[in-house]
C-alpha cells in the first residue's frame, strides 16, 4: 500500500509539537502539511533532513477560510488522507469567552470542513484532540466547547472520525495553574491506581497510531468506544486507552 498524506492543524501547540515530529518521521506518510496561524521552526525539530523534506508549511488566516482566492482554503482542500487536529487555546490566552470559542471551535470546524475531500471514493480520516470531561451539555465553557466541537466534526461526513479525551497533560513548558495543582494530586493517586495524567509524547504516539490504523484497526488496549451523538457518531479513546495505545 502506498504511503498516505497527512495534514496537521495545531502543530505549534504543546501536544502538536510532538505529533508533527512523529508524523514526519513515520514511513506511513510521504507528504505532510502543517497549516496554522504560525508554523514550526524546523531547526527546532529533532528529525532528519529527509523527514523534514516531506513537510509543506503554510501560514493561514482562519477567518478567511472559504473565501474566494484564499491560500489557506486551497491548501486545506488538497485532498489529505488523514487530518490531525490538535488546535486549541484557553480563555486566558484568547482574551474572552467569545474569542476562546472562535479559536477552539469555529476555527477547528471551519478548517476540517474545508479539508473534507469532494473527490468520489477518496476515503478520509480525521483525528481530533479533545479533552477529558468534554460534553456538549456541560455548563462550563471549556468542556462544552470541546463537546460541541466533537459533535460538529462528527457531522462533517468523514469516513472515520476519532476523538481523544486525555487527562492532564504532563510535560508542558508552562503548565497551567490548575494543572500544576491537579498534577500533584494525580501524581500521588497514580501510585494507587491507573494514572489520570499522560505524557504528551505518549499521547502523540497514540494519536499517530490511531491516524494510521483507523477505528477498525485499533488494538484492544485502546479501549475505544463508539459514541452516538445528534449529528452522527465518532470513535472515542479516553486517557487510559491513550496511554496504553501510546506505549503499545
**For the chain, where are the alpha helices, taking DSSP H only?**
14-25, 49-52, 71-76, 91-94, 97-101, 108-115, 141-154, 177-189, 200-217, 239-247
C-alpha angle 158-164-165 in degrees, rounded to nearest 5: 135
Return the C-alpha cell found at 181.
Answer: 495543582
Contact 7, 35 (CB under 8 A): yes
Phi, psi (degrees; rounded to nearest 5) at 200: -65, -35
pLDDT-derived band at 172, boundaries 50, 70, 90: low
- 17 versus 248: the higher-pLDDT residue is 17
Alpha carbon distance 227, 182 (integer Å): 28
Residue 1 is predicted with a pLDDT of 52
pLDDT in the model for residue 210: 99
Give the active site residue among 107, 128, 142, 158: 142
The predicted pLDDT at position 173 comes to 54
pLDDT in tens, 53-112: 999 999 999 999 999 999 999 999 999 999 999 999 999 999 999 999 999 999 999 999
Distances (CA, A) of 72 to 4, 35, 65, 79, 153: 21, 8, 6, 13, 19
Gap between the terminal Cα atoms of the chain: 23
Using a CB cutoff of 8 Å and minimum separation of 24, what contacts does 26-30 make?
A: 26/208, 26/212, 27/3, 28/3, 28/4, 28/212, 29/3, 29/4, 29/5, 29/54, 29/82, 30/2, 30/3, 30/4, 30/5, 30/54
Asked about 128 being catalytic, the answer comes back as no
pLDDT digits (tens, 9 = 90+) for 41-60: 999 999 999 999 999 999 99
| Percentage above 70 pLDDT, the chain | 90
Q: Which grid cell sits at 223?
A: 479501549
| Residue 100 C-beta-side C-alpha neighbours within 13 Å | 15
State the catalytic residue, choosing from 4, 54, 146, 170. Answer: 146
Instruction: State the DSSP code for 176.
Output: -
The whole-angstrom separation of Cα 169 and Cα 206 is: 14
Instruction: Give residue 196's pLDDT.
Output: 86
Domains of the chain: 4-243 (3.40.50.720)
Catalytic residue at 146? yes
pLDDT for residue 176 is more than 90: no
Q: Residue 120 burial (CB < 10 Å; 0-12/13-18/19+)?
A: exposed
Instruction: Give the three-state DSSP class for 109.
Output: helix
Q: Distance between CA atoms of 150 and 130, rounded to whole angstroms?
A: 7
Digit-coded pLDDT (tens) for 178-211: 444 433 443 444 443 456 899 999 999 999 999 9
Amino acid at each position: 500500500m502506498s504511503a498516505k498524506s497527512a495534514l496537521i492543524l495545531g502543530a505549534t501547540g504543546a501536544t502538536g509539537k510532538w505529533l508533527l515530529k512523529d508524523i514526519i518521521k513515520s514511513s506511513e506518510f510521504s507528504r505532510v502539511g502543517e497549516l496554522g496561524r504560525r508554523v514550526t521552526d524546523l531547526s527546532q525539530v529533532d528529525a532528519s533532513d529527509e523527514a523534514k523534506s516531506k513537510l509543506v508549511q503554510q501560514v493561514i488566516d482562519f477567518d478567511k477560510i472559504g473565501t474566494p482566492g484564499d491560500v489557506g482554503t486551497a491548501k486545506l482542500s488538497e485532498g489529505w488522507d488523514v487530518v490531525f487536529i490538535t488546535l486549541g487555546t484557553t480563555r486566558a490566552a484568547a482574551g474572552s469567552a467569545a474569542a476562546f470559542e472562535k479559536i477552539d471551535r469555529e476555527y477547528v470546524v471551519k478548517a476540517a470542513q474545508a479539508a473534507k475531500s469532494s473527490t468520489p471514493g477518496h476515503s478520509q480520516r480525521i483525528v481530533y484532540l479533545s479533552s477529558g470531561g468534554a460534553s456538549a451539555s456541560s455548563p462550563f465553557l471549556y468542556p462544552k466547547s470541546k463537546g460541541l466541537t466533537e459533535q460538529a466534526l462528527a457531522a462533517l461526513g468523514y469516513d472515520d472520525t476519532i476523538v481523544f479525551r486525555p487527562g492532564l497533560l504532563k510535560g508542558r513548558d508552562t503548565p497551567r495553574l490548575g494543572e500544576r495543582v491537579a498534577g500533584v494530586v494525580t501524581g500521588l493517586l497514580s501510585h494507587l491506581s491507573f494514572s489520570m495524567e499522560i505524557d504528551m509524547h505518549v499521547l502523540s504516539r497514540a494519536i499517530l497510531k490511531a491516524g494510521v490504523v483507523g477505528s477498525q484497526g485499533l488494538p484492544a488496549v485502546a479501549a475505544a468506544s463508539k459514541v452516538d451523538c445528534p449529528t452522527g457518531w465518532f470513535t472515542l479513546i479516553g486517557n487510559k486507552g491513550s496511554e496504553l495505545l501510546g506505549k503499545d
